[in-house]
Amino acid sequence: MCGRTACTLGPDEICQACSVRTMKDGKKQYQAPEWRDHPGGKSYTTSYNIAPSRFTPVIISDHHVRGVKRQSDDEVLSPQRIIQPMMWGLIPPFYKGSSPTGHGLTTNNCRVEDIEEKKSYKPSLIKGQRCVVLCDGFYEWQAIKGEKTKQPYFVYAPQPEGIEIWNRESWDKPGVWSEDEGWRGPQLLKIAGLFSFWISTEDWLDFGRIGYKEALTNLTNEVELTWHPVSTAVNNSRNQEPNINVPVSLDKKPPETASSKLMSAWLSKGSAKKDNSALKDMKREPGKTEAPEHYEEKEKKPSPFSKWIKKESDDNANDN
73-87, 210-224, 302-316, range with the lowest pLDDT:
302-316
Q: Are residues 190 and 223 in the same domain?
A: yes
Give the Cα separation of 200 and 65 in Å (integer): 12
Residue 209 in any domain: the answer is yes
Residue 288 in any domain: the answer is no
C-alpha pair distances (Å), 249 with each of 138, 180, 229, 231:
19, 40, 7, 9
* Residue 216, pLDDT score: 86
Residue 146 in any domain: the answer is yes
Rg (CA), the chain: 24
Q: Are residues 158 and 260 in the same domain?
A: no
Domain of residue 166: give its range: 5-235
Q: Which active-site residues does the annotation give?
A: 2, 140
Q: Are residues 26 and 112 in the same domain?
A: yes
Give the Cα separation of 184 and 81 in Å (integer): 20
Q: Are residues 123 and 226 in the same domain?
A: yes
Please determine, for residue 204, whether its predicted confidence score (pLDDT) is greater than 50: yes
Q: Are residues 161 and 271 in the same domain?
A: no
DSSP state, 169?
G
Residue 293 in any domain: the answer is no
Please determine, for residue 280, whether its predicted confidence score (pLDDT) is greater than 50: no
Contacts of 58 (CB under 8 A, 6+ apart): 83, 84, 85, 86, 131, 132, 133, 134, 193, 195, 198, 200
Q: Are residues 168 and 275 in the same domain?
A: no
Residue 294 in any domain: the answer is no
For the chain, give the mean pLDDT.
81
**Domain harbouring 148, CATH code:** 3.90.1680.10
* Residue 102, pLDDT score: 79
Q: Are residues 40 and 101 in the same domain?
A: yes
Report the 10 Å Cβ neighbour count for 70: 10
3-state secondary structure of 164: coil
Q: Are residues 231 and 99 in the same domain?
A: yes
pLDDT in tens, 9-54: 999 999 999 999 988 788 889 999 999 998 878 889 999 999 999 9
- Does this model's pTM top 0.75? My answer is no
Residue 302 in any domain: the answer is no
Please determine, for residue 296, whether its predicted confidence score (pLDDT) is greater than 90: no
According to DSSP, the residues that pair with 301 across neighbouring strands are: none
Residue 169 in any domain: the answer is yes
Q: Are residues 161 and 275 in the same domain?
A: no
Give the Cα separation of 34 and 12 in Å (integer): 9
Measure the CA dihedral 283/288/293/294, to 10°. Answer: -140
Q: Are residues 118 and 182 in the same domain?
A: yes
> Do 82 and 60 meet the contact criterion of CB atoms below 8 Å apart?
yes
Please determine, for residue 319, whether its predicted confidence score (pLDDT) is greater than 90: no
pLDDT in tens, 178-202: 999 999 999 999 999 999 864 334 8
> Do 33 and 182 meet the contact criterion of CB atoms below 8 Å apart?
no
* Residue 84, pLDDT score: 94
